[in-house]
């Protein structure tokens, strides 16, 4: 049974990145007790051994606390970088010409190696290249088979191996590199719940990741490229969950467009019933400070008001000096927003139209019953997790209990808004609606989500054991 403080029903979930500052058992346990629902393993850093050790600790903590903890394996994706300089760095002056080519010789103030033929082939005259996370900008003036001649439009210091972004060009580069494939295979063998897919530009990128995952994990697509925004509907539909990766998205989009992109992604994800995580720099100052800025607190609150399923901490918990405090304050901000009447009204006002199928009608009916009758919980029997996600999409004003057939499915639901997942296992299989009702009421009463006399809405599918067959709704009373 979950710890009482955690079960004070926070609907919006918290994702926390692990790193050098958060690798030992005591710290990971403290983060989970403070409110973390999903732990992120960042495969851009660390070794397979590091990630395996953290995975083992998370599973130990999960067993101690008695509630499912999800694990996100975030693969790096292709990293586009310039080569090296003879002196390690150069100063680029606005208006100066600067050449990017395939010559591996160390660069200088007039040129540097760009070892990516795909960029040289795809860029056109007028294309913009951003260097070092957007701190410098170049405009392509001339292109050849093995070079780009550019004009510096935003100058500054450029040093070895700094990153390159091409915001206005679709690059013929797959989202998964050889390293990513190896990392993904390793993570799947470990047993993780989500693969974080970086550098997605096209729906084909998501299809390839799904093929490799083969149902062993959900694909959480990171939306960080403007090209992905051009294909947003199809990409979200193909994904199991999505992440608003505002760091990279903010490099390639003008700053004033990032908040609009965030809101659009959340709207589309909710309409399509996909959990959506808002990430990057949410409490960034807490890498070094014990409290966040007021602007950061407002940023977290805005994501909650917008209806995000989860909010994420990155450097704050991976390398920060105050990881537990960062989780605790994020938990406090989320809880306070969810106590606000305006939050509830805004959530109801933004409710998407019900899906035009039986499962969608059942989920919408469950939400309407909760709004009409005093209900302690909605219990969703969910073979794959999809039934619980349908209920979460409706944002009912009560606890959602996801009754899953296995630990794997229960852990996947850790990212879903308002869902408290319970693994019921296969030891006592249910075959009739009466046995479904009895099992649901017994679990809800035993775990403290409801008491004698409380009404419970139960959603399931007939016949039992068939994924995607949500077609039954029952209201029952705990005795």
Which one-letter DSSP state was computed for residue 256? Answer: G
Mean pLDDT, residues 35-63 taken together = 97
Structure tokens at 27: 């710290």
Q: Is the pLDDT of residue 447 over 80?
A: yes
How far is 150 from 101, CA to CA, in rounded Å? 11
Catalytic entry in 54, 67, 222, 274: 222
* Mean pLDDT, the chain, integer: 94
Cβ-based neighbours of 234, under 8 Å, separated by 6 or more: 203
Predicted confidence (pLDDT) per residue in 175-227, tens digit: 999 999 999 999 999 999 999 999 999 999 999 999 999 999 999 999 999 99
Same fold, 13-77+174-339 and 358-477: no
Question: Do residues 433 and 462 make contact, with C-beta atoms less than 8 angstroms apart?
Answer: yes
% of the chain surpassing 70 pLDDT: 96
Q: Which pLDDT does position 468 carry in this prediction?
A: 62
Q: Is the pLDDT of residue 5 over 50?
A: no
Cβ-based neighbours of 338, under 8 Å, separated by 6 or more: 10, 11, 12, 304
81 is catalytic: yes
Mean pLDDT, residues 315-337 taken together = 97
Mean pLDDT, residues 111-136 taken together = 95
Catalytic entry in 10, 11, 13, 40: 40
Catalytic entry in 280, 317, 382, 470: 280
Mean pLDDT, residues 20-32 taken together = 97
Kindly tell me the burial class for residue 278, based on how many C-beta atoms sit within 10 Å of its own C-beta (0-12, 13-18, 19 or more). Answer: buried
40 is catalytic: yes
Band of pLDDT at residue 398, cut at 50, 70 and 90: very high
Which CATH architecture best describes the domain 358-477? 3-Layer(aba) Sandwich (3.40)
367 is catalytic: no
Predicted confidence (pLDDT) per residue in 252-309, tens digit: 899 999 999 999 999 999 999 999 999 999 999 999 999 999 999 999 999 999 999 9
The maximal CA–CA distance of the chain, rounded, in angstroms, is 79
Band of pLDDT at residue 436, cut at 50, 70 and 90: confident
Q: Is the pLDDT of residue 434 over 90?
A: no
Q: Is the pLDDT of residue 46 over 70?
A: yes
Catalytic entry in 7, 59, 79, 81: 81
Band of pLDDT at residue 7, cut at 50, 70 and 90: very low
Mean pLDDT, residues 228-255 taken together = 94
Mean pLDDT, residues 340-349 taken together = 93
What is the CATH code for 13-77+174-339?
A: 3.20.20.60
Helices marked H in 274-377 — which ranges?
Answer: 294-306, 315-318, 323-338, 341-349, 358-372
Question: Which of 196, 186, 144, 240 has the alpha carbon at shortest distance from 52?
Answer: 186
Q: How far apart are the first and last CA of the chain?
A: 20
Q: Which pLDDT does position 430 carry in this prediction?
A: 61
Q: Which pLDDT does position 110 carry in this prediction?
A: 97
Q: Is the pLDDT of residue 429 over 60?
A: no
280 is catalytic: yes
Domain ranges of the chain: 13-77+174-339, 89-165, 358-477
Which CATH entry fits the domain spanning 89-165: 3.30.70.2740, 3.40.50.1000, 2.40.33.10, 1.10.645.10? 2.40.33.10
pTM (whole model) above 0.75: yes
Which one-letter DSSP state was computed for residue 415? Answer: G
How far is 434 from 54, CA to CA, in rounded Å? 42
Mean pLDDT, residues 159-167 taken together = 94
Band of pLDDT at residue 432, cut at 50, 70 and 90: confident
Band of pLDDT at residue 9, cut at 50, 70 and 90: confident
* Residue 149 dihedral angles phi and psi, to the nearest 5°: -100, 125
Q: Which pLDDT does position 278 carry in this prediction?
A: 98
Mean pLDDT, residues 328-352 taken together = 95
Q: Which pLDDT does position 426 carry in this prediction?
A: 58
How far is 408 from 268, CA to CA, in rounded Å? 26
Band of pLDDT at residue 1, cut at 50, 70 and 90: very low
Question: Do residues 213 and 195 make contact, with C-beta atoms less than 8 angstroms apart?
Answer: yes
């Amino acid at each position: 049974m979950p710890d009482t403080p955690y079960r004070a029903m926070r609907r919006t979930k918290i994702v926390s990145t692990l790193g050098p500052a958060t690798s030992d058992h005591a710290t990971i346990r403290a983060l989970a007790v403070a409110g973390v629902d999903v732990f992120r393993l960042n495969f851009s850093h660390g070794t397979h051994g590091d990630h395996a050790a953290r995975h083992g600790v998370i599973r130990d903590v999960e067993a101690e606390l008695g509630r499912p903890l999800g694990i996100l394996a975030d693969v790096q994706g292709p990293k586009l970088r310039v080569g090296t300089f003879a002196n390690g760095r150069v100063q680029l002056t606005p208006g100066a010409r600067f050449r990017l080519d395939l010559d591996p010789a160390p660069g200088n103030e007039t040129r540097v190696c760009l070892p990516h033929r795909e960029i040289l082939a795809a860029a056109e005259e007028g294309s913009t290249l951003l260097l070092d996370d957007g701190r410098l900008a170049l405009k392509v003036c001339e292109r050849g088979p093995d070079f780009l001649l550019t004009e510096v439009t935003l100058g500054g210091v450029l040093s070895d191996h700094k990153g390159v972004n091409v915001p206005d060009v679709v690059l013929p580069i797959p989202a998964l590199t050889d390293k990513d494939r190896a990392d993904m295979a390793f993570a799947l063998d470990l047993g993780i719940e989500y693969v974080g897919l970086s550098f997605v530009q096209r729906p084909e990128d998501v299809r390839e990741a799904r093929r490799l995952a083969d149902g062993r994990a959900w694909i959480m697509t990171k939306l960080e490229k403007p090209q992905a925004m051009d294909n947003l509907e199809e990409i979200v539909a193909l994904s199991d969950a999505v992440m608003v990766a505002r760091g990279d998205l903010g490099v390639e989009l003008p700053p004033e467009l990032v908040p609009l992109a965030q809101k659009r992604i959340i709207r589309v994800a909710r309409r399509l019933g996909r959990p959506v995580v808002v990430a990057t720099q949410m409490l960034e100052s807490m890498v070094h400070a014990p409290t966040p800025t007021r602007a950061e607190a407002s940023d977290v609150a805005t994501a909650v008001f917008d209806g995000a399923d989860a909010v994420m901490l990155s450097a704050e918990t991976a390398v920060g000096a105050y990881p537990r405090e960062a989780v605790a304050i994020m938990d406090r901000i989320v809880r306070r927003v969810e106590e606000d009447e305006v939050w509830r009204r805004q959530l109801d006002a933004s409710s998407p139209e019900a899906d035009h199928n039986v499962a969608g009608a059942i989920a919408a009916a469950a939400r309407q019953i909760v709004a009409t009758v005093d209900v302690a919980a909605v219990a969703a029997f969910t073979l794959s997790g999809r039934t619980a996600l349908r209920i979460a999409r409706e944002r009912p004003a009560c606890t959602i209990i996801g009754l899953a057939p296995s630990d794997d499915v229960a852990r996947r639901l850790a990212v879903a808004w308002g869902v408290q997942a319970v693994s019921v296992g296969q030891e006592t299989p249910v075959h009739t609606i009466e046995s479904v009702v009895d099992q649901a009421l017994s679990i809800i009463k035993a775990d403290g989500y409801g008491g004698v006399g409380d009404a419970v809405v139960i959603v399931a599918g007939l016949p039992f054991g068939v994924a995607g067959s949500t077609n039954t709704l029952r209201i029952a009373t705990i005795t």
